[in-house]
Amino acid sequence: MDVATLSCYDEELCITSGYYTDDSDFELVNAAEQPSDDNILLNLIRRDNHEQCAIYSTSPKTKIHHSKQLKRIIDDCGLSDEIYIKAYYILMRYLSSCLNMNEDILYGCMTIAVKLSEYTNFLNTVEKYIKHRITYEALMNAETLICNAIDWDLNITTPVTYLEAILTMLDVENVTKNSLRQISTKLIVQAVTDRKFYGIDSDKNGDCVKLREDI
């Protein structure tokens, strides 16, 4: 198998996968084969059908609990909302098939999302944050466990994927597109971290109570 490597605490941090090209590939990782159909939105909908089945199988209480934990880590690391959304959907895919959950998994979801999106952020920011919180071996084991749980299918559809596809079709100035992107991204983050979006509210004692059964 090929190995994609990044420098981490003066060692090599790696994800092992046949999807990667070689050790010098530090560009955006294309982990899965893309459909040949030219209809972008139609392709996304087709792919999203089977991914959402896995995500919806995770209970609302579990989603909201871990989504907030992950958001805290992402915010502490100074990463973008786009990275958080990708990490969140990786986490949901993992939780749909694996019950082994601890903070190492959250770090693993974050570093995988960064590797798939912004290598420079990983080298300049994430390394400084995580090196005192998780060992190299534990992080590599968490990444491998996550990738195996989602069958190395790292080309995960998120709401941002739809957003970018829609923005490319809009005949507006780039400034307007950037504003729409920022507003939409914040709404997506709110949707996956606010218990009301899951049909969950808090009782007088602060305990979570499920309000709707159709989520």
- What does the pLDDT look like over 154-188, one tens digit per residue? 887 787 777 777 888 888 888 888 888 787 788 87
pTM: 0.64
The answer to whether residue 107 scores a pLDDT higher than 90 is: yes
Which DSSP letter does residue 123 get? I
Cβ burial of 40 (10 Å; 0-12, 13-18, 19+) is: middle
φ and ψ at residue 35, rounded to 5 degrees = -65, 150
Kindly calculate the radius of gyration of the chain based on its CA atoms and give it in whole angstroms. Answer: 18
Provide the angle, in degrees to the nearest 10, between the axes of the packed helices 81-95 and 136-149.
Answer: 70
- Amino acid 94 reads Y
pLDDT range class, residue 206, cuts 50, 70, 90: very low
Query: Which of residues 209 and 59 earns the better pLDDT score?
Result: 59
Q: What's the pLDDT tens digit per position in 1-26? A: 433 433 343 333 344 333 334 443 44
Residue 122 near residue 6 (C-beta atoms within 8 A): yes
Residue 86 near residue 156 (C-beta atoms within 8 A): yes
Q: Which residue has the tokens 């992950």?
A: 70
Q: What is the pLDDT of residue 58?
A: 62
The angle at the Cα of 77, spanning 72 to 82, to the nearest 5 degrees, equals: 80
The answer to whether residue 62 scores a pLDDT higher than 80 is: no
In 3-state terms, what secondary structure has residue 117? coil
